[in-house]
Amino acid sequence: MLRVHVALRRGAFALRAHFDQPTPGVAALFGRSGCGKSTLINLIAGLLRPDEGFVSLDDRVLVDTRDGTWIAPEARRIGYVFQDARLFPHLRVAANLRYAARRAAEPGYVGFDEVTALLALEPLLGRRAHQLSGGEKQRVAIGRALLGQPRLLLLDEPLASLDAARRDEVLPYLERLRDHLRIPMVYVSHQFEEVLRLATHVVLIESGETIAEGEIGAMSLRPELRRIVGPEAVGAVVDGEVLRVETDGGLAAVAVGKGELRVSAAGLAAGMRLRVQILARDVIVATGEISGLSVRNALRGTISSIATDVADARLITIEVGGAQILARVTTDAARDLTLAVGMPVAALVKSVSISADRLRRL
């Protein structure tokens, strides 16, 4: 367990943040720019001292202001990947990596060859930093951090300086590290797409305060998240399992709650676990019999809540047997359909609206 409960004041800015992250796993610190995410990660690393509070990782206390415990940053066995790669420009990639390996304080649990294979660094080993793309530099920076044999890996918006194509290049490697090495990570981002792909635990930060935390499915339903991501990105995140691939139609059936979603079958196989985001704007609510529609997905369930949403709209939460999804309907539609809590409905979702970037392998 990574436990962080800290407070810090710097001038007019005050941070009071807390979260408890199960390990291994990826905790995403998510919020708007300037909310205090980088300050919090620097407190974990030991680059800043809290005015009060404590940080502990599993059985080791790193700082506790109550009894004066303070472990120096270099003794914490924490790897740190910054927004810029910070590679040594006079060294080749191989030397950058071996520098970190030589400085590791503990025997290695991950070796040079394993890191270079996981991050596909072999073709880059003879190059210098100026010969690398932005995505390649970040992969090298991640590899260098890992070869320090950290017990925890901190990543402070490591993809912020990359364009969309380079971000998509690096993200699969981060997923591979999460799944293969199972090293605890704290990942700072203000891009929810990155959080969706990587996080197992989400910590929402607003104006220096932790406003909510929890696993990503539950957090996707929280109004605090909706305030940050904006109305177009509001949607439920649910886990599912591929039941079968329907080769004749190019679709795969995915179990979600007690129902099934049909999505594009590209790259999927029976038994695969997926994380699916269903945007509220893509869901149609039906109260009667369904016929004569091209929509391939009809999840039957019960309305569990109705909330005020953006202007002239309502946000409907539908329980579909162990999972919850969100639907945005106009106020007029909610009134005409007499939608109410406890009412049985069907949530209709077009298969084509569940695009590949909303499907994540677990």
Tens digits of per-residue pLDDT, 14-70?
A: 999 999 999 999 999 999 999 999 999 999 999 999 999 999 999 899 999 999 999
Here the tokens at position 224 are: 């605090």
Beta bridge partners of 220: none
**Which range has the worst mean pLDDT, 3-7, 27-31, 218-222, 295-299?**
295-299
288 phi/psi in degrees, rounded to 5: -120, -160
The fold of 2-229 is: Rossmann fold (3.40.50)
Contact 129, 137 (CB under 8 A): yes
pLDDT 10s digits, 124-133? 999 999 999 9
pLDDT, residue 274, reads 87
Segments of the chain assigned to CATH 2.40.50.100: 235-361
Q: State the DSSP code for 96.
A: H
Contact 119, 139 (CB under 8 A): yes
State mean pLDDT over 265-293: 87
Q: How big is the CA angle at 137 (ends 133 and 142), to the nearest 5 degrees?
A: 150
Segments of the chain assigned to CATH 3.40.50.300: 2-229
Cα-based distances in Å from 343 to 9, 186, 340: 49, 40, 6
Distance of CA 202 to the CA centre of its chain: 7
Q: State the DSSP code for 120.
A: T
pLDDT 10s digits, 70-118? 999 999 999 999 988 899 999 999 999 999 888 887 777 889 999 999 9
pLDDT, residue 64, reads 98
pLDDT, residue 348, reads 93
Tell which CATH architecture fits domain 235-361: Beta Barrel (2.40)
Taking the model in full, what pTM does it have? 0.88
pLDDT 10s digits, 309-362? 888 899 999 999 889 999 999 999 999 999 999 999 999 998 777 765 566 666
Neighbours of 14 (CB within 10 A): 14
In whole angstroms, give the CA distance from residue 207 to residue 194. 21
Which is more confident, 123 or 197? Answer: 123
Residue 286 has pLDDT above 90, yes or no: yes
Residue 203 has pLDDT above 70, yes or no: yes
Residue owning tokens 């995140």: 237
